[in-house]
Structure 1
Amino acid sequence: MTEKKQPSLTKRIVTAMVAGILVGSLLQWLMPIGEDFVIPLYFFDISVRGFLIDGVFEVIGQVFISSLQMLVVPLVFVSLVCGTCSLSDTSKLGRIGGKAIALYLITTAIAITFAIFLALLISPGEGVNMVANTTFEAREAPSLAQVFIDMFPRNPFSSFAKGNMLQIIVFALLFGIATALSGKAGERIASIFEDMNEVIMRLVGILMNIAPYGVFCLLAGLFTEVSLDTFGNLIIYFLVVFGALLIHGLVTYPLLLKVFTGLNPVIFLKKMRDTVVFAFSTSSSNATLPITLETVTKKMGVKNSIASFTVPLGATINMDGTAIMQGVATVFIAQVFNQDLTLSQYLMVILTATLASVGTAGVPGVGLIMLAMVLEQVGLPVEGIALIIGVDRLLDMTRTAVNVTGDSMVSVIVGKSEQQFDSEMYHDENAGRKIEEIDFHHLKGENK
């Protein structure tokens, strides 16, 4: 009797995502926001919202997010140390970093330029007379000089505890270079880090196998809280941003990949499916970072010496999705308040948002901080941000999916240009499948 074949991880995650959205929408229909449904039992009554939504969905969803975030710091540090040690010439780091940062800035500039053009073409705020019921207080963004100063950790252990990604990257690079220059002692340390990297990647595989449950609970809980009334009022703005995000992710990135590498972009998009679903569910590039790194190295063939640097850097400074939101939001707010912007002001929006994608890296609420900076730069009221907050949660999920796709695309381009790329792995449909298949009944049998 043949054993029934288990569905692939991708199918299980997509099924969980769709089921979560449907269950959450059904619960909101049965229990509008602010209302509850009580099931009477023999000894006590059970609150559906308290037990299921705020209980089961919230606990499982947040445990899943915490489990992913748990891996970020050790994965980035260990992978980057391994990658730096493996470079035969550490001077390559400057060239790799220069290529990555240039590509990230170029894609961000393209993103916001296209977003502004699309928003002006469709005019989502034309004729809208809305009054914000809430105000938005923007945090003060640090200066560019302060950002560079803060990149260097005073206490690396404090950086680990706070999850300050730029400081962790800098310390890992310095530690990796010192290890590579330390002869036999460095070789022993490098060997330990290589083993640690294998263990951490296996832990990523374990988390990916429980991902469908986390994805279901996250989306089921979210869609019980999305206000459909607010969404209806801003449907045109939402669709413009969503459409721009889809075009950037499905057209711009594949075109750049084809131009710079000659690789088939369809293969790239297929291998990004799991990562995109993770990013959409978590709304966090940092939380998705372990999955992004596993996809880039184990499925796309980028060597760890490249991916261990470009992927964490992209999760920190690459904000194409946020740039698209800023472009559309700027036009929308200007039209709502009946203020016309000049060509020079639009150019200022593009420049400010592109540079701010690096300048505000690592700051909480970075998307809204950047938008506040852009609005102030062109003289638009910052309180206009309150108009779009209602639908921003759903857009944030899509922005994150676009951002991680950009991180992976840049990693492939840099890896290919540096001859740190396995073309056979890229074209292998089953590449990376082994790490996703965990036999929890025969743990000792997992031999490499």
Structure 2
Amino acid sequence: MAVTQAKKLGLTSKILIGMGGGILFGLLLRNLFPESTFIDEYITQGFLHVIGTIFVSGLKMLVVPLVFISLVCGTCSLSDPSKLGRLGGKTIAFYLFTTAIALSMAILIAIMIHPGNASLVSEGLSFNAKEAPSLAEVIINIVPTNPLQAMSEGNMLQIILFAVIFGFAISHIGERGKRVAALFNDLNEVIMRVVTLIMQLAPYGVFALMAKLALTLGLETFGSVLKYFFVVLGVLLLHGFLVYPSLLKVFSGLNPFTFIRKMRDVQLFAFSTASSNATLPVTIETAEHRLGVDNKIASFTLPLGATINMDGTAIMQGVATVFIAQVYGVDLTITDYAMVVVTATLASIGTAGVPGVGLIMLAMVLNQVGLPVEGISLIIGVDRLLDMVRTAVNVTGDTVATVVIAKSEGGLNEEIFNDTQAGKTAGSFREQVKGPEIQS
């Protein structure tokens, strides 16, 4: 009986159990064996680190082949150049629109709540930020000089551009192109099967990640920046659970509650891994098989969103800019705030290709309005936890945009969207993938 009940547990339930169990396990070890060298070396940095890293690496392993293959499949099915241009224009416009909303809301709420306190400034604050690229460099670096090198380095913007050009070329060489397209469609089925296999390991990977976090995250780090932490968290939740559902309802007329329920797996993956790119395989599968988005749209908008749509990061940058200005007693003008919105919105285009992601982009924004970059050291302690939440917000935004654009392009199966059982792990998608094996 126990075995039968265990089999009925869905992936979301298993991930939640893994997450809760990991946190409890980590806190238990932390309280029972404080400052234990054995626990630190063999459990935290040993067993848990190895399991968590393998899980995240397994997801990241799929990102480049998944993005390239699925994007080639999607692009080569769009033989009409005007349709490809229209899809790209809508996608980028929607992403920039939501990023601007996120930033404006973050700045306004931070000004109203005033989380910064000038007494926080102390001597010795330091943050060695790597130099952020200029907007011109970001645009130039979109074009790969070596596509294979871009794939080996995981440069997503370059991979996306090459995949679009490659897929477009396939669609314009007649019968030979159809044969190549058929090969990529078969490869796409293979890579999606690998996604389902990796997803079965999720509860164990999430357990290890959460346990390690509970063992290493010091409560004292919240101290003086507790107010900043809750302001950022509040704006992230507001954007994720109010703004996005409202935009979905306004632009598509679809039920936002159905959308949120079906996004739980993706949000949990994003929260656990703190990486939009690592979550991308799960996001694409959910969009196609749980939400009913056509592959040729999902395979274009989601990889692009994981690269340029960083609303969660933009919220952090907006609140952090106001917070640091208040801490150092710098009065920003309306022009300065407008510059923060413009700079951070445009900077989001290059965020994913920069090591250190949000904090380095924050350095660019702070420099733009003349604030000391050293202030970043105040928020480093809580950034890891906030990074997990804002990644969940980022992937939610990517998927909202994908559903809205799919609806406008006639590429959304509303029957699948409204079916609560559609695409569940034990449901239609796995049966479709496993079908040939069962029959043989």
Q: Distance in 1 between matches of 2:362 and 2:373?
A: 8
Give CA deviations for 1:293-342 in whole Å, capped at 9, x if unaligned: 11111111111111111101111011111111111111111111112212
Moved more, 182-191 or 257-266: 182-191
Question: Do the aligned partners of 1:142 and 1:360 also contact (CA within 8 Å) in 2?
Answer: no
| Of 270-279 and 18-27, the range deviating more from structure 2 | 18-27
Match of residue 44, structure 2, among 53, 63, 84: 53
Matched, 1:164 2:166: no
Q: Partners in 2 of 1:234 and 1:98 — Cα distance?
A: 39
More helix by share: 2
Match of 1:247 among 225, 238, 243: 238
TM-score in terms of structure 1 length: 0.93
Q: Does 1:237 align with 2:228?
A: yes
Give the distance between the partners of 1:443 and 1:142, measured in 2 at CA. 48
Residue matched to 1:17: 19
- Separation in structure 2 between the aligned mates of residue 371 and residue 447 of structure 1, nearest angstrom: 55
Distance 2:439 2:398 in 1: 31
Residue 182 (1) aligns with residue 157 (2): no
Q: Residues 109 and 77 (structure 1 numbering): CA distance in 2 closer, same or farther, change over 3 Å?
A: same
Q: What number of residue pairs does the alignment pair up?
A: 435
What is the alpha-carbon distance in structure 2 between the residues aligned to residue 330 and residue 143 of structure 1? 19
> Match of 1:36?
36
Contact (CA 8 Å) 1:84, 1:177: kept in 2 or not? yes
Q: For 1:97 and 1:132, how far apart are their aligned partners in 2?
A: 48
Asked if the contact 2:306–2:398 (Cα under 8 Å) also holds between the matched residues in 1, the reply is yes
Corresponding residue SS for 2:206: helix
Q: 1:92 aligns with which of 83, 90, 104?
A: 83
Aligned match for 2:268, one of 261, 274, 277: 277
Which residue in the other structure is 1:205 paired with? Answer: 196
- Choose 203-212 or 1-10, whichever is displaced more: 1-10
Q: CA deviation at 1:443?
A: 9.8
Q: Which has the higher mean CA deviation after the structures are superposed, 91-100 or 391-400?
A: 91-100
Q: In structure 2, how many angstroms separate the alpha carbons of the residues matched to 1:276 and 1:358?
A: 22
Shift of 1:273: 0.2
User: Is contact 2:59–2:198 with CA below 8 Å preserved after alignment?
Assistant: yes
CA deviation map 1:391-422 (0-9, x unaligned):
11100000100000000011111111111111
2:118·2:328 contact (CA, 8 Å) conserved in 1?
no
| Contact kept in structure 2, 1:206 and 1:438, CA below 8 Å | no
Match of 1:315 in 2: 306
User: Which of 288, 295, 303 is matched with 1:304 structurally?
Assistant: 295
CA distance in 2, matches of 1:309, 1:136: 37
Contact 2:307 2:351 in 1 (8 A): no
Question: Cα gap change, 1:228/1:82 in structure 2, threshold over 3 Å: closer, same or farther?
Answer: same
Distance 1:314 1:446, change over 3 A: farther
CA-atom RMSD, angstroms?
Answer: 2.0
Any stretches of 5+ residues in structure 2 without a counterpart?
Answer: none
How far, CA to CA, are the matches of 1:95 and 1:18 in structure 2?
Answer: 44
| Contact 2:79 2:168 (C-alpha < 8 Å) held by counterparts | no
Cα distance in 1 for residues equivalent to 2:40 and 2:373: 35
Q: Percent identity?
A: 59
Task: Output the CA distance in 2 between the equivalents of 1:65 and 1:194.
Answer: 26
* Residues 254-293 of structure 1 aligned to structure 2 (within 5 Å): 254-293=245-284
